Structure 1
Amino acid sequence: MKRCHLAYLACVAALAGAGLGTTPAAAAHHQLLVVHPGQSIQKAVNAAHAGDTVLVLAGTYHESVTIGTPQVTLRGVGVRTVIMPAAAKATKAGAKAAMSCAGSGNGICVIGTRTKDVKDVTVADLTTTGFTRAGVFGMATDTMTVRHVSAVGNGVWGIAQERSVRGVIRDNHAHGNGDAGVFLANTITEEAGAYDAGNTLVSHNRLDDNRIGVTVRRLRNITVEQNGISGNCAGVFVVGDENNPKAGALSVTGNRVVRNNKFCAKTDRLPAIQGSGIVLTGAEKTRVSGNLVNGNAGDSPLSGGIVLFKSFVGATSDKNSIEDNTLADNAPADLVNTDPGKGNTFQRNSCRASKPAGLC
């Protein structure tokens, strides 16, 4: 029999039955557990061991799901596998392991502990929508992969990770989420210096109609590359503050950041945002290169193509390199530097207007 994790659709017919499908005992080390409409995804996840795949067939599933077992893959069959919140009266019927995820308003949670990261979990080929917080959320994860996920219309984030390393967020579509399409942070519940994210990769995603396309907050060692980012209030935010170590030592390269001109009202932390392409605030040693940044225009202090802005808590941006970008039709300018930080360089950018003059 072919290995189910390599040809899972071909295995479904052989595994389908009245209950939860699994591979024969001979292949027990790599089980495929098949979830049909009306069945519990959480029940299958709870039965999975390291190396197993939980395959969720097309349908709408009203539940939240928590994964704490390493090397488990949760996979749908594409956008027709839809995970939505349970009705309030039905939440209690969900598995106990999912309660904290559901209770926090998240769809799929991958959660380690304070002392041990959960490793090598994959979430793929499905839709998460309508959750009050995040469609997919990871905390204390190592090499968590999220791919081919459509995270649509969630209250805060499409896909989010905190206190995690070596993540891969690739080939997803995050649309219409209340805050960031992709959100990466050290922690949002306490003050702390930037966390080394272990070369986390955010690549080839489509991020549109969110508040912000990608937010990287108080982190180091991340690559944001080859993403299509449009129709948000802001494209990319790299955010640091007065804590040490400082945010930065990361790369924003090869992205298409176009017409992020949606208007977002001010919050307790930020002024109104509109027309911000790529913003660095309170960050250091960040390389912004090879990006196409066009048509981002607004009247916010953060508006412009590529913007260096002094943090609202007073932290400066230092030793950042802005090079080899192609910019046009951004307002108030293609390149904007209102940060008094030291050592920031602007080289070989194709642009027409800068603030102050002379950066192009």
Structure 2
Amino acid sequence: MRAALIGTGQIARQHLACLRGLPDVEVVAVCDLSRARAECMAERFDVAAFFTDSAALLSEMRPDVVHITTPPASHFPLAMAALEFGANVIVEKPAALAYADVEALTKKALERGVAFIEDHNYVFNRATRQIRELIASGEFGEVTHVEAFLCLNILRAGSPFSDPNLPHPSLSMPGAAISDFLTHLASLAFVFIGDHRWVHTNWSNRFSSPLPFSEFRALVGGEHATAMLSFSANTRPDAFWLRAYGTKMQAVANLFGTRLTLSRLHRGPKSLNPLINELQEARDLSKAAFQTLLWKLNGSPGSYEGLWDLLARAYRALNYGAELPVSIDQVIAVNRLVSDLVAEVRPP
């Protein structure tokens, strides 16, 4: 499988590091508007060719898969060109700035008979997968509610989101910097509660900030469950909390680490349930602390583990004709939710 990558920013390094270890995958070229960046990335990851023109890359290298890791505003034209060429596309979030553009991209992918995969990496983190496996087995019961709370200090000194001398590309999006993270929240909501029926949002700037919004809250309703989606640039320390509630069990995970704790009903006196769950939680937290330490020491992808898992699944699917890890329907549903979330943005 011949792969090419357009865009050489930070997330591109994760894509290339993962692809380097996948069987039957050859990265044939990288591309960036900056020749120096493209050449540097090609040298770092032993890629034979580099380009500054994506059209030339497509015509000369004829890749089977194109990874698009550029700023969001360029996703649509680059993805459309790759799809029209007949390549499978893996695009970083958000797939496009407008929902209509996402619809156009998915339609083109279906017309050409190729894959169009948006990066929903936190859906594939180990903790998320374990919770979903418990749900699928029936052990978790029916999902009643899920909470996804992303705490990220994008206001810190040196943050690309708050640099007054070089405005971040996301600042042109309806929800400004927070919009860059909505796909993470929306994709988690979708896999737990399905298609949404309604949304209520609150966008605010709780403290003095160079950004138009630094806080976001949304209540999302599905057919049988609800989701609370939150982003905070002011809450410390950084964390990505996922809490799922079911008719038989509850789960809490920090997707920036390896923590996953479960609370359930146990046999015996009801009064002993809190004690048994707390003892189990203490054991799970100790195990998670050790696993997170190993993350730091063994060169693992860390909090990008979900991206690596998603890419491995994508290439297995493309090589062997298996089900794609992120379907066209999922891409459409997640972006429809994102569109409805930003539709309620009001000027601060």
With normalisation by structure 2, the TM-score equals 0.29
Q: TM-score, normalised by structure 1?
A: 0.28
Higher helix fraction: Structure 1 or Structure 2? 2
